[in-house]
Amino acid sequence: NAGVTQTPKFQVLKTGQSMTLQCAQDMNHNSMYWYRQDPGMGLRLIYYSASEGTTDKGEVPNGYNVSRLNKREFSLRLESAAPSQTSVYFCASSPRDLQFFGPGTRLTVL
C-alpha cells in the first residue's frame, strides 16, 4: 500500500495563477482532510470530507476550493494564488480517529 500520496511535491506559482493539489489514499478511508502548515502556527484545517460526496469548511477555507472526486481522491484548488498562500500543504485520511498524512506539497507564491 502506498498510503496517502500527494502531487506535486514542490510548486512555485506567480500571484494570480491557479493550480490543483492532488491527494489520493489506498486505505479505503472515509474521511480526508487538507491542512496548511506555517511556521509557529501548527496545522490548520482548510477543508475536510467526512465521506465521499461531502465536503465542509475548516478553519481557513478562504481562497481554496476542494473536490472529493471519489472515495480515494480529494483535491485542493487555488483559483487565484496569493503570496499569503505560501505554505506546506498536507493531505490526510482517516478511518475514524487517527489520521494518516501524506508527504506534503511545498508551495511558494511569488
The contact set with another protein (CB under 8 A) reads 30-31, 33, 35, 40-45, 48, 50, 56, 58-59, 90, 94, 96-99, 101-104
DSSP code at position 73: B
**Residue 14 vs 98, nearer CB to another protein:** 98
Nearer to another protein, 5 or 17 (CB): 5
The grid coordinates listed for 52 are 465521499
The answer to whether the beta carbons of residues 12 and 105 sit under 8 Å apart is: no
Q: Residue 28: which region, alpha, beta or left (left: phi > 0; alpha: psi -120 to 50)?
A: left
Least distance to another protein, CB of residue 65, Å: 18
Q: Residue 14 or 97: which CB sits closer to another protein?
A: 97
CB-based contact 101:90 (threshold 8 Å): yes
Report in angstroms how near the CB of residue 102 gets to another protein at its nearest.
7
